Every structure is written in C-alpha cells, then in structure tokens.
Amino acid sequence: MKKLSFKNSLLLISALVAFSLIASMGFGVVELGHKAVWQCITQTCEKSIYETILWEIRFPRVLLGFIAGFGLAIAGALMQNVTRNPLADPYLFGIVSGAGLGATLTQFLPTTVQVITLPIASFLGSLLAVGIILIVIYQNNWRRIEHLLLAGVAVSFLLSSLTSFILYSGEAFSTNRVIFWLMGSLARANSTALLWISPVIIVATIIAILLGRQLDALLLSDDSARTLGIKVEKLRIITLILCAAITAVIVSYCGGIGFIGLMIPHMVRPFVGITSSKLFIAAGLVGGCFLVWVDVIARTALGGQEIPIGVITSAMGSLFFLALLRKM
C-alpha cells in the first residue's frame, strides 16, 4: 500500500478534527441530536435552551478536551524523542504526580486565590519531579539515558505517596473532591481554564517545532548530535521543562489524565514518520480528537453519572503499554 504524504495525512487529520469538534457536542445528558447542533452552528438554535447547552456548557468542555489532549500528546512525543525511549510518557515520568501534588496542596487554600495558585503550584510540583530526576541522571553524567524512565517511575511513586498522605490527613469532604479531580475530568471547563491552558500549549508547541531539527539529530545518538554542535544536556533540560509546563497547566484544570502521551505518538508515526516537527503536529491533533471522544464516553456511558477520564485512559493505556512491551 502506498504511504500517504504528510500533506494528505494532515488533511485527513484536519477533517477528523472538524468532525470530532462538531459531532461530540451532540452527546450528553440532554440529547440534542446532531441536526440541532448543526443548525445552531450554521444558523440559529431552534430553542434558546439549546444555545445555552451548546455554547456555555458543551463547547468549552469540548474545546478544553481538545487542547488538553493536544498538549499531552505533544508532551509524550517530546519525551519519547528526547530520551529515545518509546515508553516515555509524562504520566510514567513523574511529571503528572508532581503536578498533582502541587495542585492538591492548593485545594486547601481559600477558593478566591486558587485561580492564581493552582497552575503555579502545579508547575512547581512538576519542576520538583523533573529536578529530582535530573539530579539522579546528572550524578550518572547522563551515561545511561534509559535511567530517566526508571527514575521517573520512582519519583512518580514517591510524589503520589505524598499526595495520598496529604489527602488522608485532610478534611473528608475536601479529600473526596480532590480524589475525584485527580482521576481526571473536564467538568471544570470554563473561560478561565481555557485562558490559562491555551497560551501555554501554543507557546510550548511553537518552541517544540523550532527545536525539531535538534531533536531529530538527537534521535541518532548523543555523540552524533554533539558533532553537529548541539548542546545535548541543555536541550534535554529545556525539553523536560517544556513537558513540565504543558503537563502542569493541564493537570491544574483537568486532573491526572494518563497514557495519552504514550499511545498517540505511536499511533501516528506509521503515517507521518519520525521527523519531530511533523510528529508533533500530527500527534497533537490526533491526541485532541482522542480525548474529545474519551470525554464523550465518560459523559454518556453510565447515563447521568460521569466516569473520570483518567480511569478510561489508564485502562486503555495499560493495555497499550503491555502490547508495546510484547512487540518490543
């Protein structure tokens, strides 16, 4: 079978994005029907309540899901390329656990200051995880880059245990609310969340694409990259900070959503190749669509009860992880 060019692949993915954003708004507790959704988009809504449901409730949620999936997929592709490890993922790397720890600490602050402190605390928690990992690898002089993943798993367990202890020591109502949030949900979708997440994802994506050629050289080996004048250690630190920023701001408002960064890059590589800049764009778009439809399942599978998104992605990701290990 003839392989599609990147341009054709991008056109197909763009069509998938448009379809996903429009079609997903038709699903929910209140069934509107896709004809009513299309009428609201192209003309005016048949009923005023439809306009409220679509534009004030569902559209922000769908858009947040797409942006979060976009960011997590790019973070995963970045980590896999910079570590040359196909199993690398922000969830397994401890970054999600670090962001979750920072976000958990802010839940016990007054609600009025959480809007500002939540993303900042999540970012600092992510940097804590990255910092611990870098210290471990630095002591080894970066000789065994595969130790990054092992250190990440250890840090993930460490920070998760601290989060669990804080929740155990906290007030019951707040603890239950935080536990559900940590499982991952788009229920907090609003303009504030979009205003915080969107700029970070856009800037991080642009930087990642600009670093694409250097990351391509790093895929060969550290020595090959150094012969081309690339500062390998500096590039890795910048990339990990980018992943920390992306993951932190998403965890701040969406909770812990795992394994998207692991699965999506592997799904798109056969179609767009391993070139970093192309991979980031394709993985981001497919990751956004993926999370949008996972959220549809979370909202509709049990009728009026919502399933945490992280539960679904973790179940799918674990099976994918095992399949990937078997293939390797």
**Interval 292-308: pLDDT, tens:** 999 999 888 877 778 88
pLDDT over threshold 80, residue 290: yes
Q: Which two tokens stand for residue 90?
A: 């922000």
Residue ranges in 110-259 assigned as alpha helix (H): 111-139, 147-169, 172-182, 191-210, 212-220, 222-227, 232-254
Portion of the chain with pLDDT greater than 70, in percent: 91
Domain assignment of residue 174, yes or no: yes
Q: What is the pLDDT of residues 144-193, one digit of tens each?
A: 666 777 888 888 889 889 988 888 887 777 677 777 777 888 887 888 88
Please give the span between the terminal C-alpha atoms of the chain, in angstroms, as a whole number: 24
Domain assignment of residue 33, yes or no: no
The closest of 62, 78, 84 to 187, measured between CA atoms, is: 62
Could you list the residue range(s) of the whole structural domain that residue 78 is in?
6-18+72-327
- Number of folded domains that form the chain: 1
Compare 315 and 1 and report the one with higher pLDDT.
Answer: 315
Q: What is the pLDDT of residues 236-257, one digit of tens each?
A: 888 988 988 888 888 878 888 8
Is there a contact between 324 and 87 (Cβ–Cβ < 8 Å)?
A: yes
The whole-chain average pLDDT of the chain stands at 83
pLDDT at 201: 94
pLDDT band (50, 70, 90) for residue 4:
low
The closest of 119, 117, 154, 112 to 133, measured between CA atoms, is: 154
Domain assignment of residue 262, yes or no: yes
Domain assignment of residue 304, yes or no: yes
Burial degree of 179 (CB within 10 A; 0-12, 13-18, 19+): middle
Q: What is the pLDDT of residues 165-177, one digit of tens each?
A: 888 887 777 677 7
Domain assignment of residue 285, yes or no: yes
pLDDT over threshold 70, residue 3: no
> What average pLDDT score do residues 125-153 get?
74
The closest of 194, 196, 248, 177 to 61, measured between CA atoms, is: 194
Is there a contact between 313 and 72 (Cβ–Cβ < 8 Å)?
A: no
**CATH number of the domain that residue 285 is part of:** 1.10.3470.10
The closest of 253, 281, 232, 234 to 102, measured between CA atoms, is: 253
Domain assignment of residue 119, yes or no: yes
86-90, 112-116, 196-200: range with lowest mean pLDDT = 112-116
Domain assignment of residue 64, yes or no: no
> What average pLDDT score do residues 214-232 get?
87
pLDDT at 241: 86
Distance from chain centroid for Cα 48: 34
pLDDT band (50, 70, 90) for residue 279:
very high
Compare 78 and 99 and report the one with higher pLDDT.
Answer: 78
pLDDT over threshold 70, residue 114: no
pLDDT over threshold 80, residue 194: yes
pTM: 0.87
Domain assignment of residue 137, yes or no: yes
How does 8-42 read in b/e, with b if 16+ C-beta sit within 10 Å? Answer: ebbeebeeebeebbebbbbbbeeebeeebbeebee
Compare 67 and 125 and report the one with higher pLDDT.
Answer: 67
C-alpha to C-alpha distance for 86 and 242, rounded to whole angstroms: 18
Portion of the chain with pLDDT greater than 90, in percent: 21
> What average pLDDT score do residues 269-292 get?
92
Is there a contact between 149 and 92 (Cβ–Cβ < 8 Å)?
A: yes
pLDDT over threshold 50, residue 1: no
pLDDT over threshold 50, residue 259: yes
pLDDT at 286: 95
